[in-house]
Structure 1
């Protein structure tokens, strides 16, 4: 039986809907991406410094980096050193290394205060057994306005840049500089640590897009 014009139109619309749904699924699966720290590389550094069990560093990034541009991230430092061993985070020396190897200044966002790039960043003290949580950005993400002062206007990474880095297996790094003050009573000198936290952009499995998980 020949197909009339109306049935042909319905067939075209149905095919278009199927194509649209398919493309939406493909795009959704392509966005299943996460920023993950290379724990192996970080642990190697901590072990070489004798800090494998004394220092914990974590960073919190957007859970959907290809869906929304990141302008800040969270830096978490836990001090597991013995009593009396304080750690200072030196923000002036801490940096951010991009995918291309370019080094940018890391900037801590002070709580309840205006951003000011003209003043040096004060040290953050982490007492033994305590955890420091700070929101940070990059200096080049900030813009100055005469009326409102500094504000965060640019993303740390553009979405196409993250996608390219994911597909090519590129890394970026957060370089945190620490100072452990001397303890003369224990004959311990000043110690300085420059620790790099390496990160990879990884594609997540399709199961991450659903709330259920297949039984094994």
Structure 2
């Protein structure tokens, strides 16, 4: 190989390496979020709620960390003849730094004052509700539409920077502390039993390959 050919090859390798480096840097940081159902089931057993309250989180296979701003939950009341009330004001979201954050239930085009106490959600026997929520600190009012939107991620990017990738152990954990009231018709009108269920959401940091378009999203 002649010297000019070597020079061309060297320049080509440098350019390709630089392009790959810039491409990797442009990929969003990816995370995987998983509900710790074993911990949740243990709490149900301890509070004698087995098979009576079902909780499901509608989580994506992966998130770009800056887009993980809200969480969707489904709650089913399996009591045969008792109503379940979700007390949003008594619930909270414990962030990855173990700070308690006020929970805000989201609704489309939400224009109400978020500082007003939130109404409880009623779940009739055998029924399901689906709701989205976020931390109050993640909300910001859109000056164009005058509605509140979740604009900040629930897990700060800087919090995961030093964490290893693709490890079975969670890099960080969010905890939803959900306050429930269950009607007790045999004890008189207006009497309710109060429960609190902690729902851990384990966050795993994924490596840069997870953000490649051709990687499986399963």
Q: CA deviation at 1:175?
A: 0.8
Change (3 A) 1:201 1:146: closer
Q: CA deviation at 1:6?
A: 3.6
58-67 vs 132-141, which deviates more?
A: 58-67
Partner of 2:91: 94
Q: Structure 1 regions of 5+ residues with no counterpart? A: none
CA–CA separation in structure 2 for the residues paired with 1:35 and 1:41: 15
Q: TM-score, normalised by structure 2?
A: 0.77
Matched, 1:106 2:103: yes
Match of 1:143 among 118, 140, 144: 140
Q: Deviations over 1:96-143 (max 9, x none)?
A: 001111000010013465232232100111112211101111111123
139-148 vs 18-27, which deviates more?
A: 18-27
Preserved contact between residue 31 and residue 65 of structure 2 (Cα < 8 Å) = no
Q: TM-score, normalised by structure 1?
A: 0.78
**Number of positions where the alignment pairs a residue of Structure 1 with one of Structure 2:** 209
Q: CA deviation at 1:162?
A: 4.1
Match of 1:54 among 44, 52, 55: 52
Q: Secondary structure at the match of 2:50?
A: coil
Q: Structure 2 regions of 5+ residues with no counterpart? A: none
Preserved contact between residue 105 and residue 131 of structure 2 (Cα < 8 Å) = yes
Q: CA deviation at 1:4?
A: 2.3
Change (3 A) 1:19 1:113: closer
Written as runs of structure 1 = structure 2, the 5 A alignment for 1:17-56 is: 17=16, 20-21=19-20, 31=29, 33-56=31-54
